[in-house]
Structure 1
Amino acid sequence: MRYSALMMCLTITFAIATEPSHKAPVPAHKTEKPDAESASNEAPAPEIIPIPHSAPTGKHGIPAPGRRSSSTHITKKRSTTAHNPSPAPSVHGAPHAGGHWGYEEGNTGPSSWGNMSPSFSLCTEGKEQSPINITTSYAQEMEKIKFSYGMSRITVLNNGHTIQLNIDPGSFIEIMGSKYQLLQFHFHTPSEEAIGGIRYPMVAHLVHKSEEGKLAVVAALIQQGTQDNPLIETLWDKMPSEHNETRTFDKLTYSPAALLPLDQSFYTFMGSLTTPPCSEGVRWLIMKNPLSISARQIARFRKEFPMNARPIQSINARNVMEGM
């Protein structure tokens, strides 16, 4: 009897251990939102993507792909006067909105943007166009950028030109006496701006707007490192592969601050949007120290967008300032 009872207990235990889980798989929907009928009064806490404790930095924002010639040296000059900003841009929408323009040369390529529409005329006629190659900077006493980036859901858009992350309200920067709300950030490969003639593998452009309608763009340069970046890995995993597709993940939150280096020194100048309509009057803030992501992560973005960078534009009479 004892033997029969023992065998019966073992049989029941094995059956419980091998019973299949009833946990439902994560649905492959474009938008992850809770079911209104089954949601409880207290929603579960969202998953938070952590910020690395030590963000990798470079040497003065300059990558080291090999020995550089003296022509890539950045000249620093001291200045006590600030560059006068241009009028606020007339564009009020997203920088990548509208038009069937592209990056390959031809009737819709960068050299033809200004002829595609009267509203794109600044792409050809403008005198403060972006991006530029920074070869000379003027040292000046100026306040640091005050970053106040909160948490945001992941809302990722493939707009046909880049991968764009729209930001929930509440994140902003303060610089030179003005406050700018963070609207979105997106990526280019290679980096549109060049430092000493060198373009990085990628760049993230964080687009901000003030109450007066002025734009400020923080450029976070991206270099190739040896390790995957946790935030980039999550964003790429949610990346839409179809153009004009948006995915929102309510249960995943993160801070755009994860894209910023610990050393937040920067170059600044007045420029334009780097896509049609190429509106001018944009305050550019180029972070000197880059973010590092892996070669695999760079290749993943280039699989969708092999090249989406505007050619370098003439600096003309502009000065590039650098905090002392």
Structure 2
Amino acid sequence: MRYSALMMCLTVAFTFAAEPSHKAATPEPAHKTEKPAAETVAPSHDAPPETIPVPHSAPVGKYGIPSPGASHRSNSNSHAAKKHSAPSAHAPAAAHGGRHGAPHAGGHWGYEDGSTGPNSWGSMSPSFALCAEGKEQSPINITTSYAQEMEKIKFNYGMTRIIAVNNGHTIQLNIDPGSYIEALGSKYQLLQFHFHTPSEEAIGGIRYPMVAHLVHKSEEGKLAVVAALIQQGAQDNPLIEALWDKMPDEHNESRTFDKLTYSPAALLPLDQSFYTFMGSLTTPPCSEGVRWLVMKNPLSISAKQIARFRKLFPMNARPIQSINARNVMEGM
């Protein structure tokens, strides 16, 4: 009897030992962390825009722009913010003094990394301090804007003689007095225009192949810059073709268009909708208090015309600056 009981106990014990556990070692799911996708654009069939990194130093709101509830809560005319991803590839489309101003100040600063590059501008001269310390520096990456009722810019650009100047940083075109704009309640005389590659301004993280900056000044001495973004297209732009024919190849060289006159209006897109914000000159001394008017729609020039400029200036664009607490407005 004792032998039978002992055998029964051993049988039960072996049965439990051989039974698989119901607590299977199933691995816990990993916590997947995804980096936000970079803001890009579907490449144009004409010319692929360039993607830039978005600044991460903005202290107020996303990308440094206050949310509507924070900065516009008391403004009855405020409107919801509009986010800007990469623009559609088919969106509609100084060393010279005097009255022409000096957006390209003298000195040996440049665009390449090193002791004279953009990251060193602020330490090159006390007069360049704002390049490092300023809080409203240009250019910026436009990622969010606020709709507001604004009159369209009134462009009054007449025919003018042009002096083309290679100032070592860009090709600057000085013009005769008489052309002006009316914008946001002020009148600004056009002084000169010049070019950068790629575009200094970005929209949704995209810089276009080039930009034309048309520099204006009011009677009160305030500056306003119209930024006309340039994309690559199939056709030559007639004004660019005429200007490039006499492009000065040597630094500090100038050429005069003696008998021919042209209108800078040929650099403007048909749809003249715009973004606006307060910023600075994009070259030393990086002075602030500049009203920026960025055309939302690019104009087109040919690949040959872009290549002609880049032959002299392969890259002459300042890096994107933090937007900080500024708002970008656009007309409704």
Match of residue 307, structure 1, among 312, 315, 319: 315
Question: Aligned AA for 2:114?
Answer: G
CA gap of 1:232–1:63, structure 2 versus 1, over 3 A, is farther
The aligned residue for residue 262 of structure 1 is 270
C-alpha deviation, 1:177, in angstroms: 1.2
Residue in 2 that maps onto 1:157: 165
Indicate the residue corresponding to 2:31 in structure 1.
Answer: none
Tell whether the 8 Å contact from 1:155 to 1:166 is kept in structure 2 after alignment. Answer: yes
Q: How many residues align?
A: 253
Q: 1:118 corresponds to which letter in structure 2?
A: P
Partner of 2:195: 187
Residue equivalent to 1:288: 296
Q: Aligned partner of 1:224: which letter?
A: Q
Task: Note if contact 1:269-1:283 (Cα within 8 Å) is conserved in structure 2.
Answer: yes
Match for residue 208 of structure 2 among 173, 183, 200: 200
Residues 1:99 and 2:103 aligned together: no
**Residue identity opposite 1:234 in structure 2:** A
Give distance in 2, aligned partners of 1:257 and 1:148: 8
- Structure 2: distance between partners of 1:233 and 1:112: 35
Q: CA deviation at 1:97?
A: 2.5
Letter in 2 for 1:251: K
Contact 1:63 1:223 in 2 (8 A): no
8 Å CA contact 1:139–1:323 kept in 2: the answer is yes
Paired with 2:263 and 2:289, the residues of 1 have a C-alpha distance of: 27
- Whole-angstrom CA distance in 1 between matches of 2:271 and 2:211: 17
**2:223 equivalent to 1:212:** no
Question: Partner amino acid for 2:244?
Answer: W
Give 5+ residue unaligned stretches, structure 1: 1-61, 83-90
Q: Which of the numbers 254, 271, 281 marks the counterpart of 1:246?
A: 254
2:130 matched to 1:122? yes
Higher RCO structure (Cα 8 Å, ≥6 apart): 1
Aligned-partner residue type, residue 256 of structure 1:
P
State the Cα distance separating 1:137 from its structure 2 match. Answer: 0.4
2:117 alignment partner, one of 85, 102, 109: 109
Q: Is residue 162–residue 186 contact of structure 1 (8 Å, CA) maintained in 2?
A: yes
Give, in whole Å, the separation in 1 of the partners of 2:221 and 2:297: 28
- Cα distance in 2 for residues equivalent to 1:97 and 1:314: 22
Cross-structure match for 1:65: 43
* Separation in structure 2 between the aligned mates of residue 153 and residue 167 of structure 1, nearest angstrom: 6
> C-alpha offsets along residues 154-191 of structure 1, whole Å, 9 cap, x if unaligned?
21000000000001000000111110000000000000
* Runs ≥4 residues deviating over 2 A: 66-69, 74-82
Look up the equivalent residue of 2:223 and give its one-letter code: L
> Does the C-alpha gap of structure 1 residues 81 and 250 become closer, same or farther in structure 2, counting only changes over 3 Å?
farther
- Structure 2: how far apart are the matches of 1:294 and 1:130? 27
Q: For 1:268, what is the secondary structure of its paired residue?
A: strand
CA distance in 1, matches of 2:132, 2:304: 36
Aligned counterparts of 2:271 and 2:176: Cα–Cα separation in 1: 25
- Report what 1:274 is aligned to: 282
Q: What do residues 45-80 of structure 1 show as CA deviations (whole Å, max 9, x unaligned)? A: xxxxxxxxxxxxxxxxx97526999x99x9997973
In the other structure, the counterpart of 2:140 is 132
Which secondary structure state, in structure 2, belongs to the residue aligned with residue 233 of structure 1? helix
- Counterpart CA distance in 1 for 2:240 and 2:104 is 21
In the other structure, the counterpart of 2:235 is 227
Query: Percent of aligned pairs with the same residue?
Result: 84
Q: Give the CA deviation at 1:303.
A: 0.1
Q: Residue 134 of structure 1 contacts residue 320 of structure 1 at CA under 8 Å; is this kept in 2?
A: yes
Displacement of 1:98: 1.1
Counterpart code for 2:325: A
Give 1:81 shift: 5.5
1:215-252 CA deviation, whole Å, 9 max, x = no partner? 00000000000111111111001100010111111211
Deviations 1:182-221 (A, max 9, x none): 0000000000000000000000000000011000000000
Task: Normalising by structure 1, report the TM-score.
Answer: 0.74
Contact 2:130–2:286 under 8 Å retained in 1: yes
Q: Deviations over 1:19-61 (max 9, x none)?
A: xxxxxxxxxxxxxxxxxxxxxxxxxxxxxxxxxxxxxxxxxxx
